[in-house]
Chains A and B, each alone.
Chain A
């Protein structure tokens, strides 16, 4: 049985038929036409999965599988959206999903890293934070800053910090958050979040699918 999280930029897979299953990643644009998996979530999940689980449920179940505390907030930052789930006393407390304008999140960040030839794991956290509520509109801040003499790398870093702060505020400005998604590997983004951050990596939704599958077969 194959489980998959079909994101906008990257798709994550787990083959449970493998004796020692390990998750793996493929670029979504490179997926073969007609691909079908058994259990899917993510932006493209309905297209490629026989059974679809909505992302918020997968995220919540992933948090249940990976986090031992009974009160926490789990924020997932994807290529195009941000979503969070919070639990209190082991039960769902709140949730949010900014699906259409999550500042185009990871996609814009990766685009800028490649365009300007930067390495976000080496850039220092900038003092300045751009106010970014939309990725497209936020890019004009970068151009304005560069025109005013700011170094390109610093301007882009301020933009990334702005996206991080926007995601943090969307999640309700918690003192501590668990982070899910590819941006866990982006040191600039993680350290720009103004709170304690516990990165869980990009396979949280896969874990959630696994748990959903287990729960549904035990019912």
Chain B
């Protein structure tokens, strides 16, 4: 249990005949995305909300007090018909993914592949710096995790008026509160850059713009979010669980308004 899957086993599973739908967790190495892409296998990003099912149904497999994104992974895995799941269980994701891999292996009759993504080739992060509706921006960034190719016709960078630091939130509804000229930092930028374990890029901030440091409750990255928010001269630290409450939304709205950010 919990051993990293050998490359030979990964290749055997991902090149097996009949493989049609593979779930991914985090950002698997480019080599594996490339194999799936070339074979025309459907890739499903299990970190995203893919099924309309009650989160409470995960309680049989996971503690209720757990990262909402990993609970979503389990919820998706329970309700989707998948042929295999590839999880990044290294520093590009989290220890939680390693343990969730064990839970999934114990409950699903499909191969669970544990990998560590140490890719270092930067693909750039044009979407994170583009003028674009924030929900569309995050949808585009998270969608790109399934592609091994560099973004064609990247949008030009805009002058930022606000910042968002963090992982893609489980609940995208908070994104509607930000202006289109928000630059995105943190792990989301590492994700677009296809270097999810790049801790230096993840810790990069822009002290010149008011920035919301978003942390998903019970995620280990809450510590980094708090630290960076303390160092940033104009920051709001937010810790949000499954859904965004009205007070958290009001905090973002007030923070941006009182910081003089035009919405």
Contact = CB atoms under 8 A, between A and B. Distances in A.
A92 B247 contact: no
A100 B247 CA distance: 8
- A54, A83, A98: most-surrounded residue (chain B CB, <10 A): A54
Given A92-B259, A95-B236, A57 B254 contact: yes
B223 interface: no
A192 B97 CA distance: 46
B247 A99 contact: yes
B66 interface: no
A5 interface: no
A97 B250 contact: yes
A56 B250 contact: yes
B247 A95 contact: no
B250 to A, nearest CB: 4
Contact of A56 (B245, B251, B259): B251
Given A57-B258, A92-B258, A97 B253 contact: no
Nearest to B229: A94
A55 interface: yes
Contacts of B234: 91-92
Interface string A140-151: 000000000000
A105 interface: no
Given A54-B250, A55-B250, A99 B255 contact: no
B255 A97 contact: no
A33 to B, nearest CB: 23
Interface residues of A, number: 15
A54 B245 contact: no
A87 to B, nearest CB: 9
A92 B233 CA distance: 10
Interface of B: 234, 236, 245-247, 250-251, 253-255, 257-259
Interface string A83-95: 1000000011001
Which 6 pairs show the lowest CB-CB distances between chains A and B?
A99-B247, A56-B254, A97-B247, A54-B250, A92-B258, A57-B254
Contacts of A54: 250, 253-254
B254 A60 contact: yes
Given A95-B236, A97-B251, A60 B258 contact: yes
A57 B236 contact: no
Nearest to B246: A99
B257 A57 contact: yes
A109 B234 CA distance: 36
A16 to B, nearest CB: 22
Contacts of B258: 57, 60, 92
Contacts of A92: 234, 255, 258-259
Contacts of B255: 92, 95
Contacts of A95: 236, 251, 254-255
Contacts of B253: 54, 56-57
A26 B250 CA distance: 25
Given A95-B255, A98-B247, 13 more contacts: A56-B251, A56-B253, A56-B254, A57-B257, A60-B258, A81-B247, A83-B247, A91-B234, A92-B255, A92-B259, A95-B236, A99-B246, A100-B247
B245 A99 contact: yes
A97 B252 CA distance: 11
B232 to A, nearest CB: 12
B234 to A, nearest CB: 8
Nearest to A88: B233
Nearest to B210: A92
A118 to B, nearest CB: 31
A96 B247 CA distance: 9
Contacts of B236: 95
A118 B257 CA distance: 42
B38 to A, nearest CB: 49
A95 B255 CA distance: 8
Contacts of B245: 99-100
A103 to B, nearest CB: 15
16 contacts: A54-B250, A54-B253, A56-B250, A57-B254, A57-B258, A60-B254, A60-B258, A81-B247, A91-B234, A92-B255, A92-B259, A95-B236, A95-B254, A95-B255, A97-B251, A99-B250
